[in-house]
Amino acid sequence: MNIGRLSRGKYVVAVSGGVDSVVLLDLLKKQAGLDLVVAHFNHGIRGRQSDADARFVADLAADAGLKFELGRGNLGPNASEAAARRARYAFLRRVRKKYHAEAIVTAHQRDDLIETALINLLRSGGIRSLTSLRSRPGLARPLLGVPKSRLLAYARRAGLSWREDSTNQDARYLRNYLRLKVLSGSRAAPAKQKMLMLIQRQAAVINKIEHEVAKILEAGALAEFTAARASLSRYWLAMLPYAVAAQLLAAALAKLPGSEPRLLARQTCQLLVWARVGKPGRRKSIGPWRFYLTKRRLIVEHSEN
């Protein structure tokens, strides 16, 4: 199976115990020059089933002679998908920092890409909605070009064992509803193919914007950074095309220690309008970030700093 290859180095592999992550681990074990750390986060959502998943992944790591890191949460059965994701990625970032790893590696595949794009369109509708599941510095997703069906076929041929998450059949969760009710069956295949084409086109646009923003940041006139904060020119945030200004803001947040670079489209829009017309001295908090205005700058700090 052809997947995105990783350069030599140490990587934290997120393994839930499901078929996607089990196949990912099996494929990565066969790549030369990789020092792998298996990481599993027990959300505490499914009680004994969650504990059994953790033991299963621990055994996988032990059988392969790999280091194993277990994180635990106590989110409860009513936890949202967003809360579970935040807790999981916070744990994975801690493991990466502990081992000085090149990146976290996740098992997101092509079906996940389509589901996530639809979810983001429904929730925020911004320019980045279609492309949030991409590899980026510190986060590798080598299976994005592989459909779920191929991963299942590989697992069966290789005689791999995996765990089934009972909550994946619960259509009350939006992702499950889309997968089970909207995207399943042969009738959905043409729409899924068109969605993939749209994602690819949008990714090309985003890549071009990111390239331009990288040049802007390198020039240093529009944004200044210290260890704990970012300072952006209000004038240029107002004058740049909206998509470029939005990416500049996202890039600034990504540079702050501990930040997860994600704002909803409406939050980005509100911030850019605020930066244009707000009075000096005004302050605003969104998620983990604190923003305040001077006469010429928008200052951003992460709340943990």
H/E element, 120: helix 110-123
Above 70 in pLDDT, residue 260? no
Greater model confidence, 171 or 301: 301
Question: Mean of the pLDDT values across residues 222-241?
Answer: 84
Structure-derived torsion over alpha carbons of residues 87, 259, 134, 24, reported in degrees to the nearest 10: -40
**Given 3-state DSSP classes, what are the helix, strand and coil percentages for the chain, each rounded to the nearest 5?**
50, 15, 35
Mean pLDDT of the chain: 86
Amino acid sitting at position 258:
G
Write out the residue limits of the CATH 3.40.50.620 domain(s) in the chain: 9-182
Single-letter residue type at 124 = S
For the domain made up of 205-302, the CATH class stated in words is: alpha beta
Q: Give yes or no for residue 173 having a pLDDT over 70.
A: yes
* 74 vs 36, residue with greater confidence: 36
Residue 172 has pLDDT above 70, yes or no: yes
Indicate the CATH number of 9-182 among 3.30.930.10, 3.40.50.620, 3.80.10.10, 3.40.30.10: 3.40.50.620
Asked whether the beta carbons of 275 and 232 are under 8 A apart, the reply is yes
Higher local confidence (pLDDT), 230 or 30: 30
CA 208 to chain centre: 20
Q: What is the DSSP letter of 6?
A: P
- pLDDT at position 5 over 70: yes
CATH 3.30.465.60 in the chain is located at 205-302
> Which residues sit in the known binding site for ATP?
16-21
Query: Of the ranges 29-33, 66-70, 126-130, 276-280, which is most confident?
Result: 66-70
DSSP secondary structure letters along 218-282: HH-SSEEE-SSEEEEEHHHHHHS-HHHHHHHHHHHHHHSTT------HHHHHHHHHHHHHPPTT-
- Which parts are annotated binding residues? 16-21
pLDDT for 127 = 60
Averaged pLDDT, 158-180: 82
Highest-pLDDT range among 4-18, 165-179, 253-267: 4-18
